[in-house]
Structure 1
Amino acid sequence: MEKVRTLASIKNDIERHIGEKVTLKANGGRRKVYVNEGVLESVYPSIFVIRLDNDTQRTVTYSYSDVLTKTVQISFGSI
């Protein structure tokens, strides 16, 4: 059985990996899935920020509820 996840536990888990490389798999709607790699830059009370590797100036932000609802899947370390 899968462990029950709350927003607080997701935030704490992500917060421990600041500065590490991450891989994101985001649902773009209409059968589109975006896979990006970057560095977890900062964590805020409602969102977290990732600087993408493919473009030095581009950052993306996601909320912890995106991870909870599995709209965004995040894995730490390079694959």
Structure 2
Amino acid sequence: MKMKLYEEGEKSKAICHHCKQLVNTTFARRDVPFSDGKGDVKNILAAVCDVCDHVVAIPAQSTPAICNATSSLPS
């Protein structure tokens, strides 16, 4: 199976946990914090809610950047 590669500015749909509904999204580069609050990953491609501007999804192609950011965190 081939991975879909998204480009900046491309549109999609996702459920926004902030808006609590299905929304249109736009792929954009963002700094995204880790869920545990201990650092973040800089400048990755993410799906951003067109209504509230929150990150709602991260495409698989951003995984290597997340792994690199995770491995550089202090233990």
TM-score in same-fold range (> 0.5): no
Look at both structures and tell me which one has the larger radius of gyration over its CA atoms.
2
TM-score by length of 2: 0.38
Structure with more of its chain in strand, by fraction: 1
| Higher RCO (Cα < 8 Å, 6 or more apart) | 1
